[in-house]
Amino acid sequence: MAHDEVSGHDSAASDSSAVETSRAASTGTAVIASDVVNPGEPPHRKRVTDLDPKKAKHAQRTVYTLFYLSIAGSIFALAAYMAFPIEDGDIAAIRLNNLFIGVGSALALFGIGLGAVHWGKALMADKEGIDERHPIRGTQATRDRAVEIFHEADQESGFGRRTLIRNSLIGALVAFPLPGLVLFRGWAPQDEDPVELLSHTMWKKGSRLTLDPSGIPVKASDVTIGSVFHIIPEGLNERHDLLEQKAKAAVLLMRLNPDDLTISPGREDWSYDGIVAYSKICTHVGCPVALYEQQTHHLLCPCHQSTFDVTKECEVIFGPAKRPLPQLPIEVDSEGYLVARSDFNEPVGPSFWERS
Amino acid sequence: MARRSRKASRRHPLATVVLIAIGLVVTGGGYAAFSSTTTATADTEITSQAVIDEGEKLFAANCATCHGMSLEGTDDGPALIGVGAASVNFQVGTGRMPMAMQGPQAMQKPTQFTDEQTLALAAYVASISPGPAIPDESLLQADGDAANGGELFRINCAMCHNVAGAGGALTEGKYAPELTGVLATHIYEAMLTGPQNMPVFNDDNLTPEDKRDIITYLKYIENNPSPGGYELGALGPVAEGLFAWIFGLGAIIGLMVWLTAKSN
């Protein structure tokens, strides 16, 4: 504050400020109220290490001890690497290996850092220096010259005059990023319509409902009331695109008391004796919805607490999801196994742009 | 003088310790002898009429108010038709039953009955309404395939109980409890019977061997330290974030203050 007087340019700060200032303050400095008496710098106070050679000796000892400690830390980390090797198949060994190498390295780095800072603060020359703050605005001459340079460059290059050259250059710059943008198309599956892929799963008429992960088909008689089965479509485990398909086709199979189910017209034959199958993919952002409460028949998504009511065809009763979970129509084949009647009748999972 | 006389009037300083030790040995030894004899006979007597009669008395006195004298259920409690011995052993053996009060879910609490009384209750209920039986000891030794158990646990259980079995929240005040420190019998019975809001995992869904593998996995992660270091309750980003923000950021702020402070 004491040095603001030296920057004596005519200033914008004085006329824009509500506080009346008697002198010019440079732009970029705070407004100075005239009624505040500048107390000046506090008197320089010498450090104990400057006054007492014993203390200085002590500080010196502390600094080199910290540096030696750092060396010890590095050696400790090296020793730990050899003493606690990561053995194949022994997961617990990773814990000790990481712990001791980490402790050694941390000690090594902290020793250097703390020692250097303590050295600087307690022992290096204790001289206070002041750097003046310069005004941000250049002089009028500099500003005029800058504008002049721009004009000169325009004249000499003919940028404003030769418009054909200028416009073709702008055109070239616009065209350059286009191939990059088009390359993003490569992220989507080739030769296939992404909308089509998002709209269908591998469920089809007659595919059996099988257990995740074993792929054992499930009989209707296996599913007792209160049960929940995690289901994948028959043949999923043999697919090369297993994960892509599972991400769409995962199903949760539950059996409720048939009297508890409210079934809307058109869905009468989608369930079998209280056994219902719903997509496990949340309609909000696609987390697996699988927290089923067998007494309240609530189905909770762990990510954002969307709650679906299984008795009411999985309508949303809480949370950010906007659509009910899609139901997989099921029936029983001649051998008593549960099979799909068709694919889901709507796209599973979260919304996407082209979803109708 | 006064000090000495007081000292002389007191017993030897170790007398209390010795007395307590003798008392503990006598009662502990007596209890051990008593309980070992009763469990030895329990196996043979489990279905005997005397045990069922004992269970019936306990049921009438402690359970019938809500579940009805003949297990038919009342407005306050569900019917127990078809529940079997496993369900009773789980509910009573973990202290969930008898319930202290109606609430979002029955809480685990200190058991109200001894093991023998619990088994008697289970035998009585199973004699009237047969259902899933208490699992065989051979499936509870946690000696199965922990890797298979881990995969099955992540598919069927982890969404509610947390991948490390630390438990988690459900809707409207209900929660899936922590699975560490739970007896293998109770884990097995919970899968088999689906207590309260937990779904049933019958033997067609998870075979007895699958259930044994899941128990093996749970006991493995309970008894082996986490390779990643201290788990902070295995609760994930909440606990870890809180630790990082308070202690990590706190340490950084502390260092900044020291760094910019003038040396004295």
Q: Do domains B47-133 and B135-229 have the same CATH topology?
A: yes
- Is-contact A108 A77, C-beta < 8 A? yes
What's this model's pTM, rounded to 2 decimal places? 0.73
Q: Distance from A92 to chain B by nearest Cα, in Å?
A: 5
Q: What is the tens place of the pLDDT at every residue in B33-63?
A: 555 444 443 344 456 888 999 999 999 999 9
**Residue A11 confidence (pLDDT) above 70:** no
Q: Do A219 and B204 lie within an 8 Å CB cutoff?
A: yes
Q: Do A296 and B198 lie within an 8 Å CB cutoff?
A: no
Sorted by where each begins, the domain ranges of chain B are 47-133, 135-229
**Residue A155 confidence (pLDDT) above 60:** yes
**Average pLDDT score over residue span A73-85:** 95
- With bands split at pLDDT 50, 70 and 90, how would you rate the model's confidence at A20? very low
- With bands split at pLDDT 50, 70 and 90, how would you rate the model's confidence at A24? low
Q: What is the tens place of the pLDDT at every residue in A283-311?
A: 999 999 999 999 999 999 999 999 999 99
Cross-chain CB nearest to A300 (options B170, B198, B200): B170
Q: Say what the pLDDT of residue A148 is.
A: 96
Q: Do B263 and A291 lie within an 8 Å CB cutoff?
A: no
In this structure, the number of other CB atoms found within 10 A of the CB of residue A249 comes to: 25
Q: Do B229 and A99 lie within an 8 Å CB cutoff?
A: yes
Show residues of chain B in contact with A290, CB under 8 Å.
Answer: 159
Show residues of chain B in contact with A117, CB under 8 Å.
Answer: 258-259
State the DSSP code for B245: I
Minimum Cα–Cα distance from A289: chain B residue: B159
Show residues of chain B in contact with A95, CB under 8 Å.
Answer: 225-229
Q: What is the tens place of the pLDDT at every residue in A158-185?
A: 998 999 999 999 999 999 999 998 898 7
In this structure, the number of other CB atoms found within 10 A of the CB of residue B181 comes to: 7
Show residues of chain B in contact with A213, CB under 8 Å.
Answer: 151-152, 155
Task: Decide which of A302 and B100 is more confident.
Answer: A302
- Give me the interface pTM, i.e. the ipTM: 0.74
**Average pLDDT score over residue span B62-68:** 90
Q: What percent of chain B has pLDDT over 70?
A: 88
**Residue A6 confidence (pLDDT) above 70:** no
Q: Do A296 and B172 lie within an 8 Å CB cutoff?
A: yes
**Residue A35 confidence (pLDDT) above 60:** yes
Q: Do A291 and B160 lie within an 8 Å CB cutoff?
A: yes
Is B157 annotated as belonging to a binding site? yes
Q: Say what the pLDDT of residue A30 is.
A: 66
Minimum Cα–Cα distance from A100: chain B residue: B229
**Residue A321 confidence (pLDDT) above 90:** yes
Is B160 annotated as belonging to a binding site? yes
Show residues of chain A in contact with B258, CB under 8 Å.
Answer: 117
Q: How is domain B47-133 classified at the architecture level of CATH?
A: Orthogonal Bundle (1.10)
Show residues of chain A in contact with B174, CB under 8 Å.
Answer: 293, 296
Q: How far is CA A96 from CA A1, A69, A89, B147, in A?
A: 55, 21, 14, 23
Q: Say what the pLDDT of residue A354 is.
A: 87
Q: What is the tens place of the pLDDT at every residue in B174-210?
A: 999 999 999 999 999 999 999 989 999 999 999 999 9
- Is-contact A249 A233, C-beta < 8 A? yes
Task: Decide which of A302 and B3 is more confident.
Answer: A302
Cross-chain CB nearest to B205 (options A94, A227, A300): A227
CA neighbor of A207 nearest in space, from A40, A329, A346 = A329
Task: Tell me which of A121, A128, A309, A338 to substitute to probe the interface with B (most B C-beta atoms closer than 10 Å).
Answer: A121
Q: How far is CA A203 from CA A141, A194, A264, A347, in A?
A: 77, 18, 22, 12
What's the rounded Cα separation, in Å, for the pair A3 and A287?
62
Task: Tell me which of A55, A229, A305, A307 to substitute to probe the interface with B (most B C-beta atoms closer than 10 Å).
Answer: A229
Task: Give every strand in the sheet of A307-309, ordered side by side.
Answer: A291-292, A298-300, A307-309, A315-318
Reading the block at residue A80, the tokens are 């730990």
Q: Give the residues across from A279 on adjacent strands.
A: A251
Q: What is the tens place of the pLDDT at every residue in A244-269?
A: 999 999 999 999 999 999 999 999 99
Q: Say what the pLDDT of residue B35 is.
A: 53
CATH no. of B135-229: 1.10.760.10
**Residue B10 confidence (pLDDT) above 90:** no
Q: Say what the pLDDT of residue A4 is.
A: 42
A40-54, B60-74, B147-161 — most confident range: B147-161
Q: What percent of chain B has pLDDT over 90?
A: 50
Q: Do B171 and A98 lie within an 8 Å CB cutoff?
A: no
**Residue A282 confidence (pLDDT) above 90:** yes
Is B12 annotated as belonging to a binding site? no
Q: Do A295 and B197 lie within an 8 Å CB cutoff?
A: yes
Q: What is the tens place of the pLDDT at every residue in B214-256?
A: 999 999 999 887 887 788 888 888 889 999 999 999 999 999 9
Is B209 annotated as belonging to a binding site? no
* Complete domains list, chain A, with CATH: 1-41 (no CATH), 48-122 (no CATH), 140-182 (no CATH), 197-340 (2.102.10.10)
Show residues of chain A in contact with B227, CB under 8 Å.
Answer: 91-92, 94-95
Q: Do B202 and A225 lie within an 8 Å CB cutoff?
A: no
Tell the burial category of B255 from Cβ atoms under 10 Å away from its Cβ (0-12, 13-18, 19+). Answer: middle
Q: Do A218 and B197 lie within an 8 Å CB cutoff?
A: no
As a whole number of Å, the CA-based R_g of chain A is 37
**Residue A9 confidence (pLDDT) above 60:** no
Task: Tell me which of A48, A86, A118, A224 to substitute to probe the interface with B (most B C-beta atoms closer than 10 Å).
Answer: A224
State the DSSP code for B244: I
What's the rounded Cα separation, in Å, for the pair B89 and B114?
11
What's the rounded Cα separation, in Å, for the pair B253 and A218?
59
Q: Say what the pLDDT of residue B178 is.
A: 93
